[in-house]
């Protein structure tokens, strides 16, 4: 834990940083699950969520193409045929704290598929709140790729010594998180991004997403060029490091 005077329990933040019932009602008033790529970007602009830089996006897409090629080796492989339906999130981040001048607090990268893929040895507390949406009522939004990824970043910060229930420690965190999504976020996950900003007001969040047709187009192109040399030396999942 970082050196700091003991914080009175009355000064600690409620986790997550929203009243669940009131928050869920507010989100459901939108009456939609997803605003799409353009609508989602307009909403994120209003929330102060920036766009990731093109140079970074180019590197990420190179990595994701290599990952996609590794999903199936022949066109008859059922995994290859369904690869375009996989929803994923990729992030790179670097954080520091004003309590540790000149030192890195946490940096690394994460790759997350949607669905239940959590390692039972690495369970994390519900720092963020997911919401049931009005159209797809039976979808568990806590299993969205970006929701799980942001929650894991919160847990990693907590384990690095930033008690997220302590405002003074949370406010000491600064740095950047770049996030790429294979498809536009649902309304619940855009709300989770806002919660992430509220938890860590000194951190910058940059987000970019693909569209629902981009993976299918890329997959068709991949099948046409299946005979060409494959990219090698690129890991199947991202690495994570912390200091």
Every domain of the chain and the residues it spans: 25-241
Residue 101, pLDDT above cutoff 50: yes
Average confidence (pLDDT) over 137-152: 89
Average confidence (pLDDT) over 87-106: 93
At residue 97, what are phi and psi to the nearest 5 degrees? -135, 145
Each residue's pLDDT tens digit, 26-76: 887 878 888 889 988 998 999 999 999 999 998 888 888 777 776 544 444
> How far apart are alpha carbons 130 and 142 in whole angstroms?
5
Burial 59-82 (b: 16+ CB within 10 A, else e): ebeebbebbbbebbeeeeeeebee
Q: Is the CB of residue 149 less than 8 Å from the CB of residue 89?
A: yes
Q: Comparing C-alpha atoms, which of 175, 217, 213 is closest to residue 196?
A: 175
Q: Comparing C-alpha atoms, which of 12, 13, 16 is closest to residue 150?
A: 16
Question: Quick one: pLDDT at residue 27?
Answer: 80
């Amino acid at each position: 834990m970082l050196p700091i005077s003991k914080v009175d329990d009355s000064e600690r933040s409620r986790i997550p940083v929203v009243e669940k019932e009131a928050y869920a009602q507010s989100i459901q008033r939108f009456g939609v699950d997803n605003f799409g790529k353009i609508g989602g970007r307009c909403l994120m602009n209003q929330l102060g969520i920036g766009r990731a830089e093109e140079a970074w996006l180019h590197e990420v897409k190179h990595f994701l193409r290599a990952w996609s090629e590794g999903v199936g080796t022949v066109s008859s492989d059922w995994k290859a045929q369904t690869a375009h339906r996989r929803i994923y999130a990729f992030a790179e981040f670097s954080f520091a704290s004003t309590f540790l001048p000149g030192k890195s607090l946490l940096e690394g990268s994460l790759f997350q598929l949607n669905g239940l893929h959590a390692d039972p040895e690495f369970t994390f507390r519900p720092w963020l709140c997911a919401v049931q949406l009005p159209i797809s009522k039976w979808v568990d939004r806590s299993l969205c790729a970006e929701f799980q990824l942001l929650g894991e970043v919160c847990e990693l910060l907590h384990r690095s010594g930033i008690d997220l229930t302590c405002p003074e420690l949370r406010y000491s965190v600064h740095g950047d998180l770049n996030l790429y999504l294979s498809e536009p976020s649902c309304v619940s996950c855009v709300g989770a991004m806002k919660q992430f900003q509220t938890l860590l007001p000194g951190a910058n969040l940059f987000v970019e997403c693909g569209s629902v047709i981009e993976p299918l187009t890329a997959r068709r192109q991949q099948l046409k060029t299946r005979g060409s040399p494959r990219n090698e030396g690129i890991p199947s999942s991202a690495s994570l490091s912390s200091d």
